[in-house]
Structure 1
Amino acid sequence: MEGLSLIQKLAIFVLPMIFAITVHEAAHGWMAKRLGDKTAEMLGRVTLNPIKHIDPVGTILVPLGAYLLTGFMFGWAKPVPVNWNNLRQPKRDMGLVALAGPGANLLMALIWAMMVYAGALSLQHFEWLGVPLMLMGVAGVLINAVLMALNLMPIPPLDGGRVVYSLLPPKQAQIFSRLEAYGLFIVLIMLVTGVLGFLLWPLVGLTIKILPASDLVTQLIPVILSPARS
Structure 2
Amino acid sequence: MDFLDQILRVPLSQLPFYLITLVIAFTVHEFSHAYFANKFGDPTAKLLGRVTLNPTVHFDLLGIILLLIAGFGWARPVPVNRDNFSKPRLMGVIVSVAGPLSNLLLAIAGAAIFAALLQFGVVSPYMGEDKLSQAIHIFFSLFIVMNFFLCLFNLIPLPPLDGYRILEDVVPRRVLGKLQQFEQWSILIFLVILIVPGLQAYTIGPLYGAAHSLSQHFLVFFRVLFGA
TM-score (norm 2): 0.79
CA contact (8 A) 1:29 1:45 kept: yes
CA contact (8 A) 2:159 2:190 kept: no
TM-superposed CA distance for 1:94, in Å, is 1.5
Q: Provide the C-alpha distance between the structure 2 equivalents of 1:46 and 1:171, rounded to a whole number of angstroms.
A: 33
Q: Provide the C-alpha distance between the structure 1 equivalents of 2:49 and 2:88, rounded to a whole number of angstroms.
A: 22
TM-superposed CA distance for 1:196, in Å, is 1.2
Task: Please give the secondary structure, in 1, of the residue aligned with 2:203.
Answer: helix
| Equivalent residue, structure 2, for 1:12 | 17
TM-superposed CA distance for 1:153, in Å, is 0.8
Unaligned 5+ segments in structure 1 are: 67-72, 217-230
2:42 to 37, 57, 74: 37
Unaligned 5+ segments in structure 2 are: 1-9, 224-228
Q: Provide the C-alpha distance between the structure 1 equivalents of 2:152 and 2:49, rounded to a whole number of angstroms.
A: 27
Pick closer, same or farther for the CA change 1:166–1:202 going to 2, 3 Å. Answer: farther
| Equivalent residue, structure 1, for 2:142 | 139
Aligned residue identity for 1:63? L
2:185 to 182, 188, 191: 182
| Equivalent residue, structure 2, for 1:197 | 204
TM-superposed CA distance for 1:109, in Å, is 0.7
Pick closer, same or farther for the CA change 1:95–1:206 going to 2, 3 Å. Answer: farther
| Equivalent residue, structure 1, for 2:219 | 212
TM-score (norm 1): 0.78
Pick closer, same or farther for the CA change 1:43–1:123 going to 2, 3 Å. Answer: same
Pick closer, same or farther for the CA change 1:207–1:163 going to 2, 3 Å. Answer: farther
| Equivalent residue, structure 2, for 1:169 | 172
Q: Provide the C-alpha distance between the structure 2 equivalents of 1:137 and 1:198, rounded to a whole number of angstroms.
A: 20
TM-superposed CA distance for 1:58, in Å, is 1.0
When the two structures are aligned, how many residues end up with a matched partner?
204
2:82 to 81, 84, 91: 84
Q: Provide the C-alpha distance between the structure 2 equivalents of 1:113 and 1:187, rounded to a whole number of angstroms.
A: 30
TM-superposed CA distance for 1:129, in Å, is 2.7
TM-superposed CA distance for 1:176, in Å, is 1.4
Q: Provide the C-alpha distance between the structure 1 equivalents of 2:182 and 2:216, rounded to a whole number of angstroms.
A: 33
CA contact (8 A) 1:153 1:161 kept: yes
- 2:133 is aligned with 1:130: yes
| Equivalent residue, structure 2, for 1:228 | none
Q: Provide the C-alpha distance between the structure 1 equivalents of 2:50 and 2:42, rounded to a whole number of angstroms.
A: 12
Q: Deviations over 1:60-90 (max 9, x none)?
A: x323433xxxxxx542111011111111111
Task: Please give the secondary structure, in 1, of the residue aligned with 2:219.
Answer: coil
In percent, how many aligned pairs have the same letter?
32
TM-superposed CA distance for 1:215, in Å, is 10
Structure number with higher relative contact order (C-alpha < 8 Å, ≥ 6 residues apart): 1
Q: Provide the C-alpha distance between the structure 2 equivalents of 1:118 and 1:74, rounded to a whole number of angstroms.
A: 30
The list of structure 1 runs, each at least 4 consecutive aligned residues, that deviate by more than 4 angstroms after superposition, is 213-216
Task: Please give the secondary structure, in 2, of the residue aligned with 1:212.
Answer: helix
Aligned residue identity for 2:45? A
* RMSD across aligned positions (CA): 2.6
CA contact (8 A) 2:146 2:211 kept: no
CA contact (8 A) 1:187 1:196 kept: no
Q: Provide the C-alpha distance between the structure 1 equivalents of 2:220 and 2:92, rounded to a whole number of angstroms.
A: 34
